[in-house]
Every structure is written in structure tokens, then in C-alpha cells.
Amino acid sequence: MRTKRTEARLLAYELFYDRTGKLVTERSKSDITALKDYLSKEEYITLEVVMREATAKLDKIHNEIEAHLNGRLMS
């Protein structure tokens, strides 16, 4: 029996470290336009702002981690 989902992952950021010593960062972002019909105009605009700001912050974190790792490799 299938259950109806009541939540969805809209934005995710993960760090992976494999056995070869490789560190990988991954950011995934869902397309929220499909939610427009299910939310009020105010809720949708708020969600757009939150997604935009969170994406910008996660990109900044990604760049800082990448710069730190690149600096470490050059030493």
C-alpha cells in the first residue's frame, strides 16, 4: 500500500568522502514551480526567497571548502 507523502526535500547539501581519499560536495535543488498551484501566492513567494537565499549560502560554503582544499593541495 502506498502512502501519500506530506513532505519533500527541496534543497540538500552533502559531503562525500570515498575510500580513495576523494572529497566531493553535492548540492541538489528541486524545481518548486510545480508547487505553485498548491500554495498561496504569499507562501510561494516566500518559498522562492528562501530557496534563493539558501542556495546562495550553500554555494558560498561550497566555494570556501573548495578554496581550503585547493590551498591544502598546493602546500
Please give the residue range of the domain that contains residue 39.
31-75
> Which grid coordinates belong to 10?
527541496
Q: Is residue 48 part of a domain?
A: yes
User: Which of 9, 11, 8 is CA-nearest to residue 53?
Assistant: 11
Q: What is the pLDDT of residue 27?
A: 87
Structural domain count of the chain: 1
What is residue 15's DSSP assignment?
E
Q: Is residue 26 part of a domain?
A: no
For every one of its 75 residues, what pLDDT tens digit does the chain have, with 9 covering 90 and above? 778 878 889 999 998 888 888 888 888 999 999 999 999 999 999 999 999 999 999 999 989 988 887 777 654
Q: What is the pLDDT of residue 74?
A: 55
Q: What is the pLDDT of residue 25?
A: 83
Q: Is residue 75 part of a domain?
A: yes
Supply the pTM of this predicted model.
0.74
Q: Is residue 25 part of a domain?
A: no
User: Which of 37, 33, 28, 34 is CA-nearest to residue 10?
Assistant: 28
